[in-house]
Chain A
Amino acid sequence: LIYAAFMLLVLLTLVASSREHVLELPLFCITILWALAYLVADMTSPLTLSF
């Protein structure tokens, strides 16, 4: 369900963007950083994803 959470954040960012809401950029940054942390954690551990 972590991937669903990422996609939900994308939708929330889109809604914030359409309303010119101040949370647009923080939501975008949180999603990017969380996804990056998830990817780096996978890269630096024994193979788990897509193998």
Chain B
Amino acid sequence: VARLYLLAVTLNVWVLVGILAAAFAVQFSSGEPPCPLCVMQRIALMLVALGPLHILLHAYSAGLTARAAALGQGMAIIAAVLGALAAGRQILLHILPSAPGFGSPVFGLHLYTWCFITFSAQIAASAFLLMAATRLDDEKVRGPMTMGTAAVFAFVVAANLISVVAEAGLHWNLPSDPSGYLLFR
């Protein structure tokens, strides 16, 4: 059970890292720098990933415990609620029938709508894994590729950090409808 649990948690992190990487790819392939609310949703995705990463890193150093699992899933749920708030806010800003929405749609839906779906699914998945944590006994098991997973996540966060600094320049906030990278102007 413990190994299966850690596999599910590792998969959770990789899905989140994949979404962050895909958003990064869309940013450069379509030449659309992310808007402030899009960046907030990326930050919420990063905060969500910290929950399962807490479980993986705790298991790596001290073994898997139900306490660590409960704490990590709680962190993920709280961050997912924050992300759903940001995505919901952006959906509501563009909800009028004639509104074209913000940015290019991907598979028929805008990225903020995909984000709302992702955060909702994350809340459900974390709640399920929280219930599953009651079945865990304290065990000395490690997740697959824990340090590699954490390193890739850190790389994606650092890349986003550099990108957002380039986009904002030396300004505290981003423009509401960004069209380029202010650091290079």
Contact = CB atoms under 8 A, between A and B. Distances in A.
Contacts of B102: 50-51
Interface string B55-76: 0011001100000000100010
Contacts of A49: 35-37, 40, 176
Given A36-B82, A39-B40, A50 B62 contact: no
Looking at chain B, what size class is its interface with the partner chain?
Answer: 35 or more
A47 B94 CA distance: 12
B160 interface: yes
Contacts of B176: 47-51
A14 B93 contact: no
Interface string B120-155: 000000000000000000000000000000100110
Interface of A: 1-4, 6-8, 10-11, 13-14, 17-18, 20, 24-25, 28, 31-32, 35-36, 38-39, 42-43, 47-51
Interface of B: 35-40, 43-44, 46-47, 50, 53-54, 57-58, 61-62, 71, 75, 78-79, 82, 85-86, 89-90, 93, 102, 150, 153-154, 157-158, 160-161, 164-165, 168, 170-174, 176-177
A50 B161 contact: no
A31 to B, nearest CB: 6
Contacts of B40: 3, 35, 38-39, 49
B89 A2 contact: no
A8 B54 contact: no
B85 A51 contact: no
Nearest to A10: B46
